[in-house]
Amino acid sequence: MTEATYTVTGMTCDHCASSVTEEVSKLAGVSQVDVELSTGAVTVTSAAPLPAEQLREAVEEAGYTLSGA
Ligand SMILES: [Cu+2]
């Protein structure tokens, strides 16, 4: 298991947070997604480290932007 924290910009409410959680949860190997709405921190627990590009695509699919990765 590995855990990594990313920063997502553009989330403003619980609905945003759940959209990101839903999309990121679809990625292979992801077992847990925790979103901290106030900071934009998204902590992802997965079986193996996620390729940054996959995470970026999932976040963009949800309609938000992955910051600084
Ligand atoms: Cu929202």
Whole-structure pTM over 0.85, yes or no?
yes
CATH number at residue 26: 3.30.70.100
Q: What per-residue confidence (pLDDT) applies to 43?
A: 98
Domain boundaries, position 14: 2-67
- Please report the pLDDT score of residue 68 as a whole number: 72
Length of the chain: 69
CA of 24 to the centre of ligand 1 (A): 16
Quick: pLDDT tens for 1-39: 999 999 999 999 999 999 999 999 999 999 999 999 999
Domain total in the chain: 1
- What Rg, from alpha-carbon coordinates, does the chain have? 10
Ion ligand 1 residue ranges (Cβ < 5 Å): 12-13, 15-16
Residue 20: phi, psi to the nearest 5?
A: -65, -45
Distance 49 CA to ligand 1 centre (A): 28
Strands ordered across the beta sheet of 41-46: 30-36, 41-46, 2-9, 65-67
pLDDT value at residue 50: 94
